[in-house]
Amino acid sequence: MKKYIIIALVSGTVLTSCGEYNKVLKSTDYEYKYEAAKSYFGKGQNTKAATILEELITIMKGTDKAEESLYMLGMTYYNQGDFITASHYFTTYYNTYPRGVYTEQARYFSGKALFLDTPEPRLDQSSTYKAIQELQMFMEYFPTSSRRQDAQQMIFDLQDKLVMKDYLAAKLYYDLGSYTGNSTYSTTGNNYLSCIVTAQNALKDYPYTKMREDLSILVLRAKYDMAKASVEEKKEERMRETIDEYYSFKNEFPDSKYTKEVESIYKDANKYVKEFNE
């Protein structure tokens, strides 16, 4: 019997809650709606709060409550994990209220929302560039913000994602190696040069990346394998370039995890250079 009483009480609470929410939705008292939205937001009932706030931001436009309503609306979507919509409303907020009460928070959470929505490195990184831009703008507008360090770390993490994408592209070029064209055009070539260019561009764009050693070894490997695949008249010149790359690598990474491989490349490259064989 107690079990049924408990169920009845719970059901009554749910019905009361739903009844109250429906009452709010139907109401034309916008002050009442505003207070209800704040209450739902404070309780973490973001879906209910968002539904009410979507209506209020238009109706209350130009009033003293419009600003807070717009910021709260952005936060309700952020809390629900709808980061693209959240960023949209945060952006709308700081464009509408450039000196608003919540402008610092809106700029920060707009960038963070985009940060949280970025895809894995293998996918298109357009949104990653957008997130970096948004976070950089936040830091520019609020250089002394307590959230500055968090924003900077997010930028570093996003840059690591871009470096990883470049690394994966360079690695793919390297793995593809040499290729031969069809008989119609009789073209031959290799993907090693594409590997080198991609890796070197990443090193130039992100000089402090933690993947610097991994990108550098790809450059050395590609130069070495391209030299080996070269015609005889170009082989010695390209092996010299490989040896130059070896010295650059050794100077930067004297205790590299790739030391054994690097020394093997250097030893073999020397066989093709006259001055080392006289």
All structural domains of the chain with their residue ranges: 12-93, 162-277
180 three-class SS: strand
How far apart CA 201 and CA 149 sit, in angstroms, is 27
Q: What is the DSSP letter of 190?
A: E
Q: What is the DSSP letter of 189?
A: E
Q: Residue 277 has what pLDDT?
A: 55
How far apart CA 172 and CA 174 sit, in angstroms, is 5
How far apart CA 71 and CA 68 sit, in angstroms, is 5
Q: Residue 9 has what pLDDT?
A: 33
Q: Residue 64 has what pLDDT?
A: 83
Q: Residue 178 has what pLDDT?
A: 73
Domains 12-93 and 162-277 share a fold: yes
Return the CATH number of the domain spanning residue range 12-93. 1.25.40.10
How far apart CA 271 and CA 239 sit, in angstroms, is 9
pTM comes to: 0.82
Backbone angles phi, psi at 188, to 5 degrees: -135, 160
Q: What is the pLDDT along the chain (278 residues), one digit of tens a residue?
A: 444 333 333 333 333 467 889 898 888 898 999 999 999 999 999 999 999 999 999 999 888 899 999 999 999 999 999 999 999 999 999 999 999 999 999 999 999 999 999 999 999 999 999 999 999 999 999 999 999 999 999 999 999 999 999 999 999 999 998 765 444 433 345 799 999 999 999 999 999 999 999 999 999 999 999 999 999 999 999 999 999 999 999 999 999 999 999 999 999 999 998 765 55
Are residues 192 and 177 in contact, defined by beta-carbon separation less than 8 angstroms?
yes
Q: Residue 6 has what pLDDT?
A: 36
Q: Residue 188 has what pLDDT?
A: 47
Q: 268: closest CA among 228, 230, 241, 234?
A: 228
Domain 162-277 is found in CATH 1.25.40.10 = yes
Are residues 114 and 127 in contact, defined by beta-carbon separation less than 8 angstroms?
yes
